[in-house]
Structure 1
Amino acid sequence: MEGQLSSGREIDPRESPRALFAYELRRYRQAAGLSQKRLGWLTGYSDSMVNLIELTKRRPTERFAELCDRALALDGIMVRLYAATTWRTAPEYFRPWLEVEEEATALHNWEPMLVPGLLQTQAYARAILATSPGTSGEELDERLTQRMRRQAILGREKPPMISVIVDEAVLHRSIGGAEVMREQVKYLIEIAQHPMVTIQVVPYETEAHCGLAGGFIVAERVGWPYAAYMEAQPHGRTVDEPQTIAALTARYDAIRAEALPFKQSVKLLERVVNQRDR
């Protein structure tokens, strides 16, 4: 089609809300017989920007979605799809991190207390989320859905590299009861086989170290740390100050030096499951 840039790989709409937006945009545009250049002209955007959005390489804006609805006579369909990409129903303090997480090419997560959200089973996540004071059943279901949705990044064609370090105490703290914990640790063993996931454990024998101060995640984009999420009470926060990120990166390296190597960590996980099976 004249005025059409390279479409690149096929987008899987199940990959993420942004992938669904890109997939549907391309489908509706092609159904209307419009090139990317023509849609760009109708919306006031360049054809290259339309192409990048259809490839999920650029995040759409609400204005872009509104203009696409108008150009393609879609009666608000693209705006509704856009809303799903913004995590509007997520807690306000956590939305910036969710957007960072979707852009990252690597995530480095230290957790001294709980299994990280990206690796939680549904039952484990429900038990954790239910402890928040004043949470209604409807709010609990919504937050659980959001947490499970985050994990979709591991199903992408090019998922981020996820490096996780947990304290051994995480494996023994009974969250949700014995069966929930057994299922959770077995899932950690399973997900550790994913080519983009590395799990390490800091053993009980380790003495005082800098990770005891709290959990955090450092996000990288093409090898460059650019944002971090720091756990705190009543809730954490997203930071992008270079000095803070550098300090957290140094702490992560120090914690990893205390952790068991990957294969030994997986063997420890297997021992924990075997102990729970007795």
Structure 2
Amino acid sequence: MESEQQTTADLIRAQLRLMRTNAGLSQDEYGRRANYSASMVSAVELGQRPLDRVYLARADAVFGTGNLFVSLLRLAERDGEPVWVRQWFDAERAARQLRCFHPTLVPGLLQTEDYARAVFRSDVTLTEGEIDKLIAARLARQSILDQERPPQLVAVLDESALHRFAEDYAQVMGGQLTHLIACAERPNVSIHVIPAKVGLHIGLNGPFVLGQSDEGGWVGFLDNQIFGNAVDRGEDVSTLLSRWESVRNIALPTWQSIELMKDVMRPWTP
């Protein structure tokens, strides 16, 4: 019964541990070959750190397994994914460029673990176990930004998303804004904030994401309170691209967005 409940991620961790021990390598010895600390190797094998493509690509290189572990990760990412979201997640993983807009929250690809937990906990219907699984899935999705050839991510968010500070969330928001600033300094990530003084704009109708493949085609994704919807019909994609241009044009450039985030953080951080 226990083996029937084993997830693909569990299988990957078990095989990583088995191949390491069969090769006669301690966690420290394997870590040196893969350029990781022994503590990181232990955390991955125990499931205390999410699996990511960079780690598994190095495992494939050390063990000479071709692309086996990276391919297994693709299967793990689909474990438990609702059918309606699989088309978008596949497009997101293959995208060369991603454009994310959210009027009220930090986009999922840029969320910290603490911020994601606070957001998921606001849904009183979720158990702690369900929240843990959702967080693990979200952090696993973020690994695409650490690939050898990561997508170019451009994120636009409304300034209101930065002002969720309250006594219970000050530390969470401080960590999240610090993370956003660090992400904005990465060569493959651009973050733009629509300042509050802009007032009403088309983006307030709701969040959306666009992904462009190597072939140049675009796929969109719309999220709502119940489920999301992948958008690939030409007319609908064109509408989203037009909406993207509208929100991007009223947003601040990256350097001004970073300064705005620092100003928002200042009263809440030591």
Shorter-chain TM-score: which interval? 0.7 to 0.9
Unmatched tracts of structure 1, length 5 or more: 1-10, 30-52, 61-79
Q: Which amino acid aligns with 1:128?
A: V
Is 1:221 aligned to 2:213, yes or no? yes
Equivalent pair of 2:159/2:194 in contact (CA under 8 Å): yes
Q: Which amino acid aligns with 1:206?
A: V
List per-residue Cα deviations over 1:47-76 (Å, max 9, x = no partner): xxxxxx6797xxx6xxxxxxxxxxxxxxxx
Equivalent pair of 1:126/1:140 in contact (CA under 8 Å): yes
Whole-Å Cα distance in 2 between the matches of residues 171 and 94 of structure 1? Answer: 27
Among 214, 224, 239, which residue is 1:232 paired with? Answer: 224
| TM-superposed deviation, 1:214 | 0.2
Unmatched tracts of structure 2, length 5 or more: 1-33, 36-50
Equivalent pair of 2:53/2:73 in contact (CA under 8 Å): no
Is 1:83 aligned to 2:120, yes or no? no
Whole-Å Cα distance in 2 between the matches of residues 151 and 88 of structure 1? Answer: 16
Find the residue that maps to 1:174 and give its secondary structure: coil
Equivalent pair of 2:100/2:156 in contact (CA under 8 Å): yes
Normalised to the residue count of structure 2, the TM-score between the two structures is 0.73
The higher radius of gyration belongs to: 1
Whole-Å Cα distance in 2 between the matches of residues 127 and 272 of structure 1? Answer: 19
Whole-Å Cα distance in 2 between the matches of residues 54 and 17 of structure 1? Answer: 13
List per-residue Cα deviations over 1:71-114 (Å, max 9, x = no partner): xxxxxxxxx766314x2223443332221110000000111010
List per-residue Cα deviations over 1:174-203 (Å, max 9, x = no partner): 386111001101110111111000000000
Whole-Å Cα distance in 1 between the matches of residues 151 and 74 of structure 2? Answer: 23
Whole-Å Cα distance in 2 between the matches of residues 222 and 140 of structure 1? Answer: 34
Among 132, 143, 162, which residue is 2:123 paired with? Answer: 132
Whole-Å Cα distance in 2 between the matches of residues 247 and 275 of structure 1? Answer: 39
Q: Relative contact order (C-alpha < 8 Å, sep 6+): which is higher?
A: 2
Q: Between the two proteins, what is the percent identity of the paired residues?
A: 31
Equivalent pair of 2:96/2:211 in contact (CA under 8 Å): yes
Structure 1's 246 and 216: CA in aligned 2 closer, same or farther, altered over 3 A? Answer: same
Whole-Å Cα distance in 1 between the matches of residues 195 and 214 of structure 2? Answer: 31
Among 35, 56, 60, which residue is 1:23 paired with? Answer: 60
Structure 1 residue aligned with 2:139: 148
Whole-Å Cα distance in 2 between the matches of residues 102 and 164 of structure 1? Answer: 16
Normalised to the residue count of structure 1, the TM-score between the two structures is 0.71
Structure 2 residue aligned with 1:272: 264
